[in-house]
Amino acid sequence: MEHPGPPRFVAVGDAVELAPRDPDPAATYEWRIRAAPLNSTVELDPDSAVVEFVPDAPGTYEIELDAPDRTHRLTIRAFPGELAPTARAGGASGASGISGFQSGSARSPGGSGGVSGSGSGTHSEGGGGGRPRVQLHGAVEGSDLVVRADPQPHPDSDTDRDDVVVEFLVDDRDDVDESDVAVDGWELRIPTSAVGDRVRVHAVAVADSYSVPDTIEFAREAVPDGGDGRVVTIGSEGSGTEAGTEAGSADADRTADRDRTPDGGRAGDDSRDDPETEAFEIVRPNDPPAWATEVTLYEIYVRGFAGPPEEQDADTVFDALAERLDYLDDLGVDCLWLTPVLQNDHAPHGYNITDFFSIAEDLGDREDYERFVEAAHDRGMKVLFDLVMNHSARDHPFFQDAYGNPDSEYYDWYDWQDSGEPETYFEWEYIANWNFSNLKVRRHLLDAVDTWSEIADGFRCDMAWAVPDSFWRELRDRVKARDRDFLLLDETIPYIADFHDGMFDMHFDTTLYFTLRQVGRGDEPADAILDAIDQRAAVGFPPHAAFMLYIENHDETRYVVECGDDAALAAAGALVTLPGVPMLYGGQELGQRGRRDALAWDQAREEFREHYDRLLDVREAVDPLGYAGDLRRIDYDADTDRAVAFERSLDGEAYVCVLNFGESTATVTLDGLEVDPTDVVSGASLATAEGLAVDDVAVFPVV
């Protein structure tokens, strides 16, 4: 699996980090440029296993990697520099510059977000209209595999959709002859006879700049001789209607996953030699796992959630956490994110890790952790492992051996400043950044990934912006080979659209977070939250990207402390009525005021708990409020700018949602829409002679 991964789309001047996958640190790797545009003079360091490639001319480059198993080839398509989108992911470290908290769970550099996501790269520097978007759809038609692109220009662009160009690349790992690939505008065709076990097709839309790529995968399947020749489809292609054939069942999905190799291929698949009817599974690998779009997430700060230690009777912290699972189940939570549980330097947040393979002694041991995960699974809950890949603690034995000792075998495991101090971010004094150019570091961290992905259902990826793209891409293929439904959630502030290109399934909606804070303080009108939702498309996220909605976490002041009770009740409504996956931070539903204090269970504010109970019940019952529901701006009048109204709809069913962040009741009238004035949250009619009277959040059926 030492192939460096999928083909890449970049712009002239952009840095792309290239690294062998599943590396053997003792092996020799050599890079070279096999083909390049005529006016290119770029070269690669032949003595480095991990190299930085910076194209110096537009066109197509073919890169070769000599590895112990064989020579691998990688295609890189470089666009002119003026087509480069802003705020894209960097090749080596993501992005670079602001402040964060000591925990190591922090904002990335580049801006703070805002009403319309300032700092998030709304527009391209080169084209004036910003990034287009693209979504690919796959089908099997007769003896052809067909990929059709659905490109969309940037919302602010003057470019007509018909003028958007789509460029395709077939994955170098899949050994398909270029002469067998036919492209006609937005459509690509490959004869099934030209494909081995599978083929992956990648594409971007090109207009004022180029889009985040999307991918379609065709994997060869076999059904018993005399079968129906069905096409098994996965993800958003799951209906099978494009191929005009029958969709696969959940059992077929699991069977398809069973024998994948770490690179996503099939181990020992000789189905083409069997007397069976051939079929193809169609996969959209950039779609989030279906389960992840339907959950309510809940962050557990592990050393405070169960309450003060002196009040706990459990043998371990994990046992104490397990005792609260029934409470969380009753609340409506079905996915848990635990802050780091690995051995650390005793900072209570756990992000300064000293052993990436051992559970922290003060929490329990691996058996205790596995028992907690099993207890969550018994209640239908998923568990996310907080994955910290950017750094180790300075108390880590490797760093202790390396510090001030250039002769240490671990010295090159870390990035160092000229002063002899380790590289870090935000002048944090307790962590040190790994050196991802060292294959031993990558091997060590990948082994840790393998260890914990066997237990958890997904990773919440800490400081995702500070880890090389090449590492995340490899990690994704690695965990998805074991379990296609494994979730990868990135913490990147501000968010980066390119992180949806073969790296992450779901993203912190940092723009909405900052906007909800501004609205809650009264610094912006309530309708700014709709601008924040629009910002997702404005920065180039594809339509299949998923977002986690939150108003607080362990790094932030509690929303109720900064914005007050009234705004906090409305913000809770925003989490369940806006498009995305809601996340609660432990104690948020109790009116907790301390950011990392032990939860004061005995002082819980019942009005907050009851409010969240009602809201989560409504989200569960009202399908248009879910992931698949559309959001539409509507015409309305309100007697305060602290209130906003919008519509959510799905399959002909529509609801109007009203949020009021102010201290006084807001009166809202709707223009051109008739609703049942009975609020489905409270069950009461909110009709008055002047309009709909909303205290914090209300949801009305459209009639």
Residues recognised as catalytic: 462, 491
| Cβ-based burial of 607 (10 A; exposed 0-12, middle 13-18, buried ≥19) | exposed
Q: Give the Cα separation of 527 and 642 in Å (integer).
A: 8
Other CB atoms within a 10 A radius of the CB of residue 375 amount to 18
Contacts of 228 (CB under 8 A, 6+ apart): 246, 277
- Strands 391-393 and 692-694, how do they pair? unpaired
Q: Give the Cα separation of 487 and 334 in Å (integer).
A: 14
| Cβ-based burial of 299 (10 A; exposed 0-12, middle 13-18, buried ≥19) | buried
Closest CA relative to residue 32, chosen from 14, 18, 12, 13 = 18
The answer to whether 226 and 242 are in contact (CB under 8 A) is no
Q: Give the Cα separation of 206 and 164 in Å (integer).
A: 6
Q: Give the Cα separation of 217 and 472 in Å (integer).
A: 19
Q: How far is CA 331 from CA 281, 320, 327, 372, in A?
A: 38, 18, 6, 18
HEC profile for 161-228? HHHCEEEEEECHHHCCCHHHCEEECCEEEEEHHHCCCEEEEEEEEECCCECCCEEEEEEEEEECCCCC
Contacts of 11 (CB under 8 A, 6+ apart): 55, 78, 79, 80, 81, 83, 84, 85, 210
- Count of residues in the chain: 703
* Burial per residue of 75-94, b for 16 or more beta-carbon CB atoms within 10 angstroms, e otherwise: bbbbbeeebbbbbbbbbbbb
The answer to whether 692 and 665 are in contact (CB under 8 A) is no
The answer to whether 91 and 74 are in contact (CB under 8 A) is no
Q: Give the Cα separation of 16 and 91 in Å (integer).
A: 4
